[in-house]
Chains A and B, each alone.
Chain A
Amino acid sequence: MKSYYDITGDGGSNIVEQVGAMQAAIGEKLAGVKHRVAIGSGKGGVGKSTLTRQLATALRQRGNACAILDADLNGPSQARLSGLQDVPLLPGAEGVALPKDADGVGVVSLGSLVPENEAVSFDTVAEGDSYTWRATREFTAVAELLSSIDWGHLDYLLIDLPPGAERTLQFAEFLGSQTAFMLVTVPSDLARGVVARSVAALRGTPNRVLGYVENMRGYWCDACSDVRPLFPESERIDLGISRLGSVPFDPQLAAACDRGELAIGQDRPWWIAVQKLAETVEETIESKPGSGGE
């Protein structure tokens, strides 16, 4: 009796071909993107999205064409961070036009389409059983966005990932080996422990891990003009990857993010740290894998 692999084709369902066509369309649309960098953590609330947003601005100011894909479908925040909450997706001659913020950074986020008081939901014939299909549907939605946007020529496509160490691994497999990863943590052991799980998960993939960023390493105090401690700092958990930079928290930045304002406090310590981070990311990604160090 014939086995699965003895039979050519799938008898007419055409499902494998359709999935293959989607992957080919993604490759075609991303052909002009030089560097793809997924920014994840594993831990939620460490500032991945804000850091992604600011890093994009810093890379842009260094002369790079840059865009962000908000892959956190359940908690999209890039639209608000970029002041693009009411910008529709507009079809052009070569696909969907890439929405751009005031800095010229491209931003694709469901936050531009779904009001913040609405849950992101999918129509389904299996109501009440979303755990059986939801993850697959979300990855397909990200694939549909990747394959339909006219990304054009970019130096950097930053992909803002949702939290979850396992999710980070799934995105590595989904985005393919040409996507590098940058992880974000805060100085506490609690966060570093979760990020360590993501590092371990990524170790089994061919994806390059550029390193990690220590976000919220202290906060900038206007009254004392100094960076004050914010978390019980510890490096007892060795992440085993390069530290690309450390960025202090700044209450002014948090307020600006809520307002969707981009250019603030160009002389503030957090911005100086993000500029340094952008320089380090550029150097690291252009260097040969394994040549970096703390």
Chain B
Amino acid sequence: MKFLCVPCDKPMQLSEATPPDRGSVSLVYACDACGYEMAMLTNPQETQVVTSLGVKIGKDGAAESKCPFTGMLADMENEDTIRWTSEAQDRLSSVPAFVRSMAKNGIEKYARDQGYAEVDEKVLDEARSHFGM
């Protein structure tokens, strides 16, 4: 979707996006030529359809939707806290967001079973060997 300033016949640019409010996102577009601003206000269905494409809406993903499966994950939270090194966290980011928390839980279960208090790259590599990968 693009927006055109009709009087100037110039494309408008996204200038501001607000996080979802009850599923609605506000996106402000401005014309660089005349300064005119307009806002597109989505309904929850429109917001969801776009975020279902796996994209972030707005600059820096201001209107990014939450991780799916959240409700289910709440029931799967572990009681003990396992620390993660920043290198291991970086690796974890390669897991798709929609299954990342579940993968994290599985890795932490492995770490706990092995008596580790922290997940680092060595633990991740060890887990791969353990599971035959």
Flag whether B3 is at the interface (Cβ < 8 A). yes
Using CB atoms and an 8 Å cutoff, list the residues of chain A in contact with chain B.
Answer: 1-2, 4, 7-15, 18-19, 22, 86-93, 95-100, 102, 110, 113-114, 118, 121-127, 129, 132-134, 136-137, 140-141, 143-145, 148
User: Is there an interface contact between B106 and A113, defined as CB atoms closer than 8 Å?
Assistant: yes
Contact of B55 among A19, A121, A133 (CB under 8 A): A19
Q: Is the CB of A121 within 8 A of B68?
A: yes
Q: Which residue of B lies closest to A87 (CB)?
A: B131
Contact A136 B56, CB 8 Å, known A113-B99, A125-B44, A148-B96:
no
Residue of A nearest to B131 (CB): A87
- CB neighbours (8 Å) of B124 from chain A are 90-92
Query: Least Cβ distance of A176 to chain B in Å?
Result: 17
Enumerate 27 A-B pairs (CB-CB under 8 Å) in ascending A order. A1-B6, A7-B4, A11-B2, A11-B14, A87-B106, A88-B109, A88-B110, A89-B95, A89-B106, A91-B91, A91-B92, A91-B95, A91-B103, A92-B94, A92-B125, A96-B95, A113-B99, A114-B72, A118-B72, A123-B67, A123-B70, A124-B68, A126-B47, A132-B45, A132-B49, A141-B98, A143-B54
Q: What are the residues of chain A within 8 A of B54 when measuring CB–CB? A: 18-19, 22, 140, 143-144
B52 interface contact, C-beta 8 A: yes
Cα A148 to Cα B11 with chains together (Å): 35
Residues of B within 8 A of A (CB): 1-4, 6, 9, 11-15, 20, 22-23, 27, 29, 44-45, 47-59, 65-72, 91-99, 102-103, 105-107, 109-110, 124-125, 127-128, 131-133
- In the complex, the chain B residue whose C-beta lies closest to that of A13 is B14
Residue of B6, B92, B93, B132 with most chain A CB atoms under a 10 A cut-off: B132
Taken together as a complex, chains A and B put the C-alpha atoms of A51 and B71 apart, in Å, by 34
